[in-house]
Structure 1
């Protein structure tokens, strides 16, 4: 290989990496029959817009390794970046290693990350929800884009996982309370290899939910991953909370380890979940 060829090769690689991280600068598209009712384009550098987002703080669920904190979420160059970092800090909630509560029997924090939520600020019943993002797939990483109903405790309030990834798998799920098993799941799982693109994880993808009173349809890049029949999630006509016929708020987070995320290593850090935009459309009235 000549030195000129080598320089051109390096230039091509640099350009490819640069242009793969250019945010979508076009105005949100107009969908026939829909209005754009809320969006965050993450256009201003610094902390995410406090008008849109609250944060979870601490150890939250699924025996995950990360301690959630605000500092791991920031906007830069038109993207929201949620960064999982290897850290070593004292767990302020530690009581003893024999305590039954897993959030209180860990004496230290080994990893940090962020979970942003619209709870208390924004919630929507039905619509088209979109996120353009590149997800991290390093060992132990567990990124997600999901919703929870505003009324009731989990799973009675209903959960929709528009995007969930762990251990080499993409999932599109819904969960709700059932009489038979307490928690019912409608889940579709795809291996990364199912997408027939060796560089799939290095690219941005469009995750979408179309939700109405009858169905929840979950997509990636216009490929239908799962369709949930809303009527089948209703136990009885007189139940107090209909999980998918009530407003839901959004969560976007990067978890580490836990019951599904799997083992991680030092090489897993830092990992970045890079979000270009999140948009919510609703049908015209």
Structure 2
């Protein structure tokens, strides 16, 4: 992957352009991005930019931006309108900059080009810091942009992962704890997440609440969940993890993503791996998204098996997803298992940058936990993100 941009004049100000080796959409302090933000010009209602590319080729255009709502845009290159992608909602507050795809595979001759970007809803604040041009290659040359190899013993790196405490979703029986080694620990290069059968006081207990997460005085199980909500979210690319699962009724580990902005299901959800432990030789992969009616129009395969039909549990497998503005592909051990094509008549939702979640739930689709089982774990060797 290679980015080109010699100069960009957005709203009359020069933007710093980062080479691919330095570009990170989660850590700008290290690469000296400009302090001055660029906003849509409310008078002209457009951005103007000049780019220079060194070779005649097809390019993808990206914005380094934040947006407080969805925004369709009109894009002109050298005065000619070209198809542009809708800019997604990326933040609840306009302070988080992420790499967002603006246009796909447009033809540019070597030399300088003028770019005009006009939003159709300028009242939805969009702030831009850079415009990037990526030369299209076939096959695509993946660049590792984020990873955790879990090389340091102890708790997961707090600069990459954050925990969430409480009874979180689906009226599930586990209480997620934070900073408790019995539930989560890195040792010998492997992350372990463990659900335990034990009574645990609900710190948020309120007997007068109608919210099930608060009116339960205690939980029957503890577990852990970590995510990258505060440290990283990515629009399109490849996300993968090497994971070892252990079978058994009641076990429900998952490796998945959710959109950084909006509510469910319009924020999108990608289930890269869900393992219902009562079945030892299959996992679930799929996509949740909102339809035009606002309801979940999920597409899932609940019966994905290993290539040779051997048990899914007991050894490490690589689970991954690759997606762009048109389709989503799922893989196990680099073998394609499942595909979802975009319906142009329905919202895509997963154009919203996705953050990563690892957790071990209990029960529901996985069945009851046997009375003689008190501990359930799964293991993660690494998590990687490519763009």
**4+ runs of 1 displaced by more than 6 Å?**
none
Show the counterpart of 2:262. Answer: 152
Show the counterpart of 1:82. Answer: 193
1:33 has 2:146 as partner: no
Please, which of 353, 361, 371 is the counterpart of residue 255 of structure 1? 361
1:73-92 residue CA offsets vs partner (Å, 9 max, x unmatched): 11000001101111112223
Secondary structure of the residue that 2:372 maps to in structure 1?
helix
Secondary structure of the residue that 2:298 maps to in structure 1?
strand
* In 1, Cα distance between equivalents of 2:272 and 2:203: 33
Query: In terms of Rg, which structure is larger?
Result: 2
Residue 249 of structure 1 and its aligned partner are, at CA, apart by 0.4
Distance 1:77 1:193, change over 3 A: closer
Residue 233 of structure 1 and its aligned partner are, at CA, apart by 7.3
Show the counterpart of 1:91. Answer: 202
Gaps of 5+ in 1: 1-30, 236-241
* In 1, Cα distance between equivalents of 2:289 and 2:245: 26
Please, which of 286, 292, 295 is the counterpart of residue 179 of structure 1? 292
Secondary structure of the residue that 1:260 maps to in structure 2?
helix
1:80-133 residue CA offsets vs partner (Å, 9 max, x unmatched): 11011111122233333x854222232222111111100011011111111001
1:105 has 2:105 as partner: no
Structure with bigger RCO (C-alpha 8 Å, 6+ apart): 1
TM-score normalized by the length of structure 2? 0.59
TM-score normalized by the length of structure 1? 0.79
Gaps of 5+ in 2: 1-138
What aligned pairs does 1:17-96 form with structure 2 within 5 A after superposition? 33-70=141-178, 71=180, 72-96=183-207
Secondary structure of the residue that 2:365 maps to in structure 1?
helix
Contact 2:240 2:320 in 1 (8 A): yes
1:270 has 2:378 as partner: no
Contact 2:272 2:330 in 1 (8 A): yes
Contact 2:306 2:332 in 1 (8 A): no
1:243 has 2:349 as partner: yes
Question: Going by fraction, where is helix more abundant, 1 or 2?
Answer: 1
* In 2, Cα distance between equivalents of 1:126 and 1:101: 35
* In 1, Cα distance between equivalents of 2:221 and 2:157: 24
1:140-190 residue CA offsets vs partner (Å, 9 max, x unmatched): 111111111112100010000000111424111101111347111101111
* In 1, Cα distance between equivalents of 2:287 and 2:319: 15
Please, which of 122, 138, 144 is the counterpart of residue 232 of structure 2? 122
Query: What is the RMSD of the two structures over their aligned residues, measured on CA atoms?
Result: 2.1
